[in-house]
Structure 1
Amino acid sequence: MDLQLPSGDQFMDATQATMCDTFQRDFLCCRRIGSLPWKDLAHQLTLQPLLALCILEKTVKHPVCKKYPPSLQYRRLFLSELIKKHECTGAEPLDDLYSALAEVLNSEETAVCYKSYCLPTGDLITLSENAAIISEGTTGLVTWEAALFLAEWAIEHNDIFNNRTILELGSGIGLTGLVICKSCYPKKYTFSDCHQKVLQQLKENIRLNGFKLEEEHSVTSEKPKTLLSVTDLDWESVTEHKLLKLDADLVIASDVVYDPDIVTSFTKILRKLFHYTKPGNGLEVLVASTIRNPETYRLFQKTLDDTGIRWQVLPDQKRNIFAYDRNCKVEILKLTLQV
């Protein structure tokens, strides 16, 4: 799906038009309310109070928001702050702002909400997420910073992913994989997780973004550029046969070593993948991690060393594409098997 921007109003200058686009990008992906550029907006509203209407049209009233809305609480907080900033100008009240807030206040909250991420091409990746960070006993129903970081890195290094057979470990709801499939054109992409609720949500998000799973293509239909599949992959019990059948030559993962209890099992599956790869595949592994707890991260690196897996930190990407907390330290490790 493409992001269709509302036509620009004549009263805006270039700075104000850019600000509207920034608010749109941040709003659709539900960036933390406090991280939005409210201070800059307050200044611009003193120059042009009607700027609030443009922001309203590009956010809460945007067709993408109407079809795939962020959480009710997020929309309420956003509108409340937008109204507050407009009221501080002393300008005449704008009825459209209050009508939009009233509509939100009279709506019923749902457990599922949507986040939409704009790609450099203008395409959107829209994800259905659970409003709670931990739901159904798993953290896999929301998107984490390392997934966005790895997705940005993939766009900048798309040649690494082009025409590859990729296995993603701990795919969650699919952000990284969907970005790679839309931007980098791998030959085959296998999403994996072990929680049934996550796998169900993952399949829904793949279809939501216009893809079909490999088994859903008819024999007579034209073969897609990328074959997509979803598999239930338990790191502890996965068999050699299953790993060989996946036939991956590139393995990726993001935000999967946030807990010391997971480090051991994750390292074991990596070791299995290196050993159970078909000869000649030359397996590459990329792991993106948000370093929330340095001790846990050092434990992961030590466990890799002890297991005979060599690691190196890759340079960060230079281009900021998605809106997320840039204060979080994220690293991508490239892993190879010591010989």
Structure 2
Amino acid sequence: MAAQDTAEQLLHLKLAFLAGEPPASVLSLARKAGEGSITPHVQHFLLENCTSTNVEGRQNCTYTTTILKRIIAEIELSSGIVIDELYEEFAQRMLSKAKDPLLNKADYIYKEISFLPSSDDNTSPGLVSMVARLSCSSNMLEGDTGCSLWPSSLFLSEFILSYPKIFSKKCCLELGSGVGLVGICLNHIAASKVILTDGDSSTLTNMKENMELNNLCVGGEHPKLLDECTNKVECKYLSWEEVSESDLGGCQPDIVLGADIIYDPICVPHLVRVLSTMLRRDGYQGKTNGTSSDEFVTEGPIAYIAIVVRNVDTFNCFGKAAADAKLSVVNITSNAAPANFLPYMLSYDRSSVQLLRITSSS
């Protein structure tokens, strides 16, 4: 393997660890970096660049211990050489867990999502375009879905970074913002205004903390405090069921975004009402989204929704409700496929995500 390829594989291994990828994915990348086995060189790299630095002290102890345990078990099973430092690191972490039981029970895990330059960019390997630092729930199957990181959010973020001209200098509002990854990307490409919303108070609290982790000024209740900030994001509570027409009409975003927000048939009518109100063309004062030769051009506000269709009936329910509300829903996944900025995230199935463009005819 060429030195450049080896460096790239090791970078992917490090970024996968920092992103909290599943242990199986991290082990797969470790094997690839060692050309089929987890060599002493790869082990030293893990210790020096992942576990020892410990992500500025934020990385979840249980996650790191699990990775070390799996690596040691695989090397021993293949009769390979486990370096002494790896055994020592694992032993120290097991001892720490025994002394402090709370380390075994972490509801949140810190992740660093690093976006690499696309293969089309003429940049040196090893560079990272952007890093988003996120506190995410480790219990997505126990109801804490709003603080989890979903494929649709990753896809929508890649879409924003692939087509920055669509969002640059536009007022962008996201529905169901969750951990806030999309908002961080919108700020990165210089959207004129970024408004993140969610209807769950605990999710909103975590989202605000994530904005601060990324050195962004957070506003919402006191928007005047944001006037002097260049990196600013507004985080607002927005319940689709309870928000009034007048409050929605006062937002007037150029672009509405959402990731995995079509999931519950009970919420569909409320979501369609919100979209219909925000996408109305009457009284719209914003700019067009692109140039006259741009396939994304529109004379009014537009929405981009990324979804994984987990229930066909729910998706069809949304389609019918949108049509009744005179909303045009077009699947643009094949025509607007984003660049792959996350090649190291083996657990991220980009092919499962669809991208919808929604506009209003009223």
- The interval holding the TM-score normalised by the smaller chain is 0.7 to 0.9
- Residue 261 of structure 1 aligns to a residue whose secondary structure is coil
- Give the Å deviation of 1:185: 0.7
Shift in CA distance, 126/226, structure 1 to aligned 2, threshold 3 Å: closer
Partners of 1:318 and 1:280 in 2: CA distance:
29
Partners of 1:114 and 1:277 in 2: CA distance:
43
Would you say 1:24 and 2:14 are equivalent positions?
yes
Counterpart among 301, 306, 313 of residue 324 in structure 2: 306
Partners of 2:254 and 2:228 in 1: CA distance:
21
Partners of 1:56 and 1:15 in 2: CA distance:
20
2:256–2:304 Cα contact (<8 Å) kept: yes
1:223 aligns with 228
Indicate the larger mover: 191-200 or 98-107: 98-107
- Give the Å deviation of 1:202: 0.8
AA matched with 1:274? L
1:133 aligns with 140
Counterpart among 133, 146, 157 of residue 152 in structure 2: 146
2:217 aligns with 212
Shift in CA distance, 218/195, structure 1 to aligned 2, threshold 3 Å: closer
- Give the Å deviation of 1:310: 0.5
Counterpart among 296, 306, 310 of residue 288 in structure 1: 306
Residues 66-89 of structure 1, C-alpha deviations (whole Å, 9 max, x = no match)? 4321x3332222112222333355
Would you say 1:49 and 2:49 are equivalent positions?
no
Shift in CA distance, 62/123, structure 1 to aligned 2, threshold 3 Å: farther
Would you say 1:117 and 2:88 are equivalent positions?
no
1:151–1:176 Cα contact (<8 Å) kept: yes
1:174–1:205 Cα contact (<8 Å) kept: yes
Partners of 1:258 and 1:286 in 2: CA distance:
16
Partners of 1:259 and 1:150 in 2: CA distance:
20
- Give the Å deviation of 1:147: 0.3
1:257–1:263 Cα contact (<8 Å) kept: yes
- Give the Å deviation of 1:44: 4.3
AA matched with 1:272? T
1:240–1:276 Cα contact (<8 Å) kept: no
Would you say 1:332 and 2:355 are equivalent positions?
yes
AA matched with 1:40? K
Partners of 2:223 and 2:329 in 1: CA distance:
38
Counterpart among 43, 60, 67 of residue 78 in structure 1: 67
AA matched with 1:283? P
AA matched with 1:54? F
Would you say 1:40 and 2:40 are equivalent positions?
no
Would you say 1:194 and 2:199 are equivalent positions?
yes
> Which runs of 5 or more structure 2 residues have no equivalent in the other structure?
98-102, 117-127, 287-299
- Residue 207 of structure 2 aligns to a residue whose secondary structure is helix
After TM superposition, the score normalised by the length of structure 2 is 0.80
1:250–1:285 Cα contact (<8 Å) kept: yes
Give the length in aligned residue pairs: 323
Shift in CA distance, 159/327, structure 1 to aligned 2, threshold 3 Å: closer
Counterpart among 2, 5, 11 of residue 15 in structure 1: 5
Would you say 1:178 and 2:191 are equivalent positions?
no
Amino-acid identity (%): 22
AA matched with 1:297? F
Partners of 1:80 and 1:19 in 2: CA distance:
21
- Give the Å deviation of 1:186: 0.6
- Give the Å deviation of 1:178: 1.0
1:33–1:77 Cα contact (<8 Å) kept: yes
- Residue 178 of structure 2 aligns to a residue whose secondary structure is coil
1:3 aligns with none
Shift in CA distance, 100/338, structure 1 to aligned 2, threshold 3 Å: same
